[in-house]
Amino acid sequence: MKILHAVHGFLPEHDGGTERYVDAIARHQIARGYRVVLAVGSYSDRYDGFVATDRSEGRPTVYRISQLGSYAERWDHGDQPEIEVALARLVADEAPDVVHLHHWLRLSRGIVRAVGSCGVPVVLTAHDLTATCPRLFRVRPGEPFCQRPLAVSSCLHCVQRDAWQDDGVVALNIEAYATDMLAETRACTRVIAPSHAHRDVLSRFSNLPPEAITVLPHPRLAPPTPTTETTPGENTLRVAHWGHLLDYKGPHVLLDALEKLPSAVSLSLWGRADDATYRARIEASIERLRERGVKVDRRESFTSDELRSMAADVAVFPSLAHESWSFVVDEALALGIPVVASARGAPPERLGEAGATFAAGDANDLARTLEALAADRSRLEAMRRACASAGMSLDDHVERLEAIYEASRTPPKSRIPVDYGAKIAAARIRRGFEDRARWLDAMKRSAEAELKGTRKDAEDAFRKAAQEEARLQELRQAYERLLRSIGQS
């Protein structure tokens, strides 16, 4: 069997959980005798079609491509017919038996249908909720787990937009996104979800029946490598959290919980907070903890080796969003660190005896959970021992994938021909319109800034003239008083 994996990015340019997962299964599939190629999105600012960038022995051939137009990776720039044509050509050249799609991001939201038009089946692993949400994770301001349908009425004032885009333009883009996502998911030969929780949410918001979605848990990507600090802290509960510090990942919930914890505690908080406002909130909480005598190890960057040397009794991942899987939980379990996670999404069904959960967003419940662990070190030890056996092996996972591929080797559901000439022409017109609108908006803002500056100069001149006039009036009055004084004398 020959397999083509289509994914939004790949190592070393993009290094995330999905990219590492694809790398692991691709190399394992090659070791089992399968032929594997990758079609991946790139940040490159040149469009050269799919270009082979890696032909190393024992690794898959990697073809990279970049989107056309400005501001790639935007939810409303996902219609890229040129990439669909390029992928269809790559499929014709490589002749895979199955295409395994992992994401539309940086590619195009028509690639399932493009591959289907070539007569090749597509298996989709839904790593997140892109098929049901332009923001990918169903997270909106003030609502960390959005339960609204994908529709203009739900998404109009939530999705990212430019200043020049009015409601009419955004509404058209939302309708196009929803139409494409519905067509793409229905055109897949099979859809895989990494957890039952993710299957249920995906089915609920995508109109796919649950029986059309296969649950296949992600594998352990690396053998267990316990941290060098395996002895629990004697009197202090050592708590750790790492990864990007984003509000919907909930590190502030952990910090709030630690402020309520009566037991002695220390914290390792590793990761970067890109949002300045949220970073200030995190740093303020850390300062309050330090004032209470809590030792905080704060790092913005770290390596895998440094993570293996982390001294921690428990890792806390208090995500407010629905987690389809959470690769950072895998990292903790591989390190032999028990996990406390939000009871939302996949963690409750996959932690088993190696962890515990608490009500999502509830700092008081998290504090109670941590306090119970601090008081029961034997339970912590049992959780640590359970880490070694948590999760599916890579070999078992790939075997189950192969069974899904074999069952999918049938003609795709639809081979509707696509008029790519018209699609490409429409895409070019859209990109030209956007570039022109963006340029006009920039000119407008420049003119407004210049007008504001001119108005300020005029206001300054009037104010100065008024001040001089007031001064002149004071001098006139003083002069008149002087004249009267002379006359009287």
Residue 292 is assigned to a structural domain of this protein: yes
Nearest to 219 by CA among 9, 433, 21: 21
Same domain? For 62 and 120 the reply is yes
How many of the other CB atoms lie within 10 Å of CB of 421? 10
Q: Are the C-beta atoms of 117 and 22 separated by less than 8 Å?
A: no
pLDDT of 231 > 60? The answer is no
User: Could you tell me whether strands 61-65 and 51-54 are parallel, antiparallel, or unpaired per DSSP bridges?
Assistant: antiparallel
Same domain? For 112 and 156 the reply is yes
Same domain? For 135 and 75 the reply is yes
pLDDT of residue 230: 52
| Continuous H helices in 388-419 | 394-408
Same domain? For 52 and 189 the reply is yes
Same domain? For 380 and 401 the reply is no
Overall pTM surpassing 0.85 (yes/no): no
SS (H, E, C) 434-467: HHHHHHHHHHHHHHHHHHHHHHHHHHHHHHHHHH
Structure tokens at 301: 């960057």
Same domain? For 41 and 182 the reply is yes
Residue 232 is assigned to a structural domain of this protein: no
Q: Tell me the mean pLDDT in the region 137-160.
A: 89
Same domain? For 373 and 470 the reply is no
Residue 228 is assigned to a structural domain of this protein: no
Q: Which of 9-18, 187-196, 214-223, 257-266 has the highest mean pLDDT?
A: 187-196
Q: Tell me the mean pLDDT in the region 13-22.
A: 88
Same domain? For 326 and 206 the reply is no
Same domain? For 438 and 366 the reply is no
Same domain? For 20 and 63 the reply is yes
3-state secondary structure of 384: helix
Same domain? For 7 and 57 the reply is yes
**Distance separating alpha carbons of residues 367 and 365, to the nearest angstrom:** 5
Instruction: Kindly report the backbone phi and psi dihedral angles of residue 421, in degrees, each rounded to the nearest multiple of 5, phi listed first.
Output: -60, -45
- pLDDT-based confidence at 45, cuts 50/70/90? low
DSSP bridge pairs for 342: 358
pLDDT of 263 > 70? The answer is yes
Residue 372 is assigned to a structural domain of this protein: yes
Residue 210 is assigned to a structural domain of this protein: yes
pLDDT of 150 > 60? The answer is yes
Residues in the chain: 489
Residue 426 is assigned to a structural domain of this protein: yes
Q: Structural domain of residue 344, as residue ranges?
A: 237-391
Q: Quick one: how far is CA 84 from the chain centroid?
A: 23
What is the percent of the chain with per-residue pLDDT over 90, rounded to a whole number?
A: 55
The domain spanning residue 254 has which CATH number? Answer: 3.40.50.2000
Same domain? For 46 and 152 the reply is yes
Residue 227 is assigned to a structural domain of this protein: no
Number of domains in the chain: 3
Q: Are the C-beta atoms of 5 and 12 separated by less than 8 Å?
A: no
